[in-house]
Structure 1
Amino acid sequence: MYNNQLPLIDLHRHLDGNIRPQTIWQLAQKNNITLPEINFEKFLPHVTITHNEADLLAFLKKLDWGVKVLSTLDDCKRIAFENVEDVYQAGIRYAELRFSPYYMAMTHQLPVADVVAAVIDGVAQGVKQFPVKINLIGILSRTFGVEICQQELDALLTHKNHLVAIDLAGDEYNFPGHLFVEHFTQVKNADLHITVHAGEAAGPESVWQAINDLGATRIGHGVNSYKDESLMAYMHKHSIGVESCLTSNLQTGTVKHLNEHPITTFIENQLLVCLNTDDPAVEGIELKHEFELAHQSFNFDLQTISQLQQNAIDMSFLSNAEKRTLTSEFTTKDL
């Protein structure tokens, strides 16, 4: 259930976590890459979630085959284009697609800045063909360490005019945010927005650090924020958005059962929270599923669902004029 008088918006959607299994299979054949199975159906469990994983790192391994088959820049361009098509097919009006260019480049040692350019090109081709609006967010993959993240940031800033924000993602527990303060000083100097994965594998202190030291105005997942009432009060006061991903949080083991998810607590504390997919191809879901899940699991009524949709508009890294255009165009078309 969702309000069809408001646009569907996905703000936390990983482009490199949404590589179609069929595309992985085809690129492996094209690029002579050996997969762990010779039968496509048997290969699917290697790239999709079949049961909830033990933790975030186990979940993230499901993304690895998708990038291992990217042996050329044209491959990167193809998956970017297909991501735009998937957004359109899912009925999403606006999406912010985030991607880690080093993660995409590393297996076949592609030039990282050229991977950024290929993604930009693929998305540009996609929006010419499909009537959706897309913005790009560059990811620093903390899992690979401080120096690699600097290389990644340099590549992203080379194309900063085609990005709206920079994100910090990956192994939050072993690579805490304080290691990346200098990186995000550069991001601020580049006048890009900042969103940070925090409070997923670590506690509320990680969210505080993302806000205070890195300059985040949005938090990816932020599940453990509920453990600190003063943090939630601060986030409400300063309109720090929470990009919530219900199915992902369950599949990563961040919450053991959906009834433990703090989204109702966030809403009760008037946090700016919205629903998102995270890695739809890996999870086997799309955005409409997340709204239906929220309705069924938490008994959210249409008013609450509508507020979540409006929050996504308000939280988006669009200008105020673009937000008005997005809403008015959609409403006019739907009348």
Structure 2
Amino acid sequence: MALYAELHRHLGGSVVPRILWGYFQRYQLSKAQDFPEYSEFEEYYTRERSSLDEYLELHTLVESVQTPQALPYFIYRLIRGAYIFENLAYLELRYTPYYRTDEALSPSERISQMQMIVEIVGQSSHVKEYPIVTSQILCIHSRLPYEVNKAIVDLASQMREYVCAIDIAGGDAHIAERLDEFIGLYRYARSLGLKTTGHLFETTNGCYPELLPYLMRIGHGIQIPLKYPELLKEVAQLNQCLEVCPTTYLKTGTLKNISDLKTVFDRCFDAGVDIAICTDNAGLHNVRLPFEYENLLTHNVIDFQQLEACQDAAFRHAFAWPYGKRPASMLTGLLQKPQDEKQLLPF
């Protein structure tokens, strides 16, 4: 029975190394020649990087193969793994649609092609044998021009059948030089009734309190409790949820040890700020959501009661979860009902 919600997973970083290596072996022998042995590819793909920018460069490797023709191949395997191995009931996939369009086209043609990309991702995410509630978060990008980013916001508003929110991606340090522009885009998105999250306060280079009033959730946000705990009161008042992705901070060098996250969780719980535990890039990390849970528990970052609170928060803050309760609560009711009915039988 699927029990968990994943609120922060990138489409580009969701492809596990074995699947990506197998795709190269089947369909792109030129790339396969660089890594004839799987073990070599896995080590390269999942190793720690020295910075967030270096880490994000890996997304370009996957984006280059996530073409309209290949997206169904990757998404089917993503959904299958999420259902079978991670017990996911709910999954939000985020990505920048412009980077899945044909690079040979003109910018205006690529903008037009984004609608087809959203449709392909949306349709491919609905797999009958693996019933997971899915939705998309479209990412504007800190390195894309304003015209493209505005088109992404407009597309999100027009395709609410598939899209539940917008985000900003591309490396948080690159937001600074265009901060007013991105504030304007978020203000515009909220005026359209769009839900919002954003990659902020992940590193010490990405702290922009000016954007906080426009967010409903915060992508990462760990520097708030670590460096700016005075902001936690505002975050709590805005009912914002932090999307904390533990393995990411080790892979990017943002934190030296997972135990450093104990301060994040303790201060957030004390301030009444919700946290959803997420994977971010499950493929790049070669980990799954239950591992993130277990790792936090075994390193005494959180206890079981706090874990359950985070799992509840994930469903409570999910942008497109259609039910009032998390699946575990509904399952408990179903299991108790036959017992109650049995007690009413006259024999």
TM-score tier after normalising by the smaller chain length: 0.7 to 0.9
1:99/1:138 contact within 8 Å kept? yes
Deviating more after overlay: 184-193 vs 161-170: 184-193
Aligned match of 2:114? 112
Alignment of 1:150-229 (within 5 A): 150-176=150-176, 177-202=179-204, 205-206=207-208, 208-212=209-213, 215-226=214-225, 227-229=227-229
5 Å-filtered alignment, 1:1-335, equals: 7-29=3-25, 31-32=27-28, 34-35=30-31, 36-46=34-44, 48-50=45-47, 52-71=48-67, 73-89=68-84, 90-105=86-101, 107=103, 111-124=113-126, 126=127, 128-176=128-176, 177-202=179-204, 205-206=207-208, 208-212=209-213, 215-226=214-225, 227-261=227-261, 262-318=264-320, 322-324=323-325, 326-332=327-333
Structure 1: which 5+ runs fail to align? none
In percent, how many aligned pairs have the same letter? 20
TM-aligned CA deviation for residue 23 of structure 1: 3.5
What is the number of equivalent residue pairs in this alignment? 322
Shift of 1:218: 0.3
**Once superposed, what is the RMSD of the aligned Cα atoms?**
2.5
Q: TM-score, normalised by structure 1?
A: 0.86
Aligned mates of 1:334, 1:97 — CA distance in 2: 31
Secondary structure of the 1:134 match is strand
Larger radius of gyration: 2
AA at the equivalent of 1:40: Y
Residue 26 of structure 1: how far off its partner (Å): 4.2
Name whichever of 22-31 and 115-124 sits farther off.
22-31
The alpha-carbon distance between structure 1 residues 108 and 79, as it changes in their structure 2 partners (threshold 3 A), is farther
Gap change, CA 1:167 and 1:331, over 3 Å in 2: farther
- Which secondary structure does the structure 2 equivalent of 1:129 belong to? coil
* Cα deviation, residue 32, structure 1: 4.0
CA distance in 2, matches of 1:288, 1:161: 29
Distance 1:331 1:93, change over 3 A: farther
Distance 1:264 1:168 in 2: 27
User: Post-superposition, which runs of at least 4 consecutive aligned residues in structure 1 deviate over 6 A?
Assistant: none
Q: Could you tell me how far apart the structure 2 residues matched to 1:129 and 1:78 are?
A: 15
For 2:163 and 2:116, the matched residues in 1 are separated by 15
- Structure 2 distance, partners of 1:204, 1:233, is 20
The residue matched to 1:164 in structure 2 has which SS?
Answer: strand
**Distance between the aligned counterparts of 1:209 and 1:188, measured in 2?**
15
Letter of the 2:194 partner, please give it.
L
Q: What's the CA shift string for 1:175-232, capped at 9, x where partnerless? A: 23433123223322332210011001345741x22222xx101001001102223310
Alpha-carbon deviation of 1:245? 0.6
TM-score by length of 2: 0.84
- Greater shift in the superposed pair: 105-114 or 249-258: 105-114
Distance verdict in 2 for CA 1:38–1:258, change over 3 Å? same
Residue 295 of structure 1 aligns with an amino acid whose one-letter code is L
CA distance in 2, matches of 1:201, 1:92: 28
Shift of 1:163: 1.0
Q: 1:32 to 1:296 in 2, by over 3 A?
A: closer
Shift of residue 265, structure 1, vs aligned partner: 2.2
Amino acid paired to 2:245: C
Q: Secondary structure at the match of 1:254?
A: coil
Q: Answer whether contact 1:80 1:123 (CA < 8 A) is retained.
A: yes
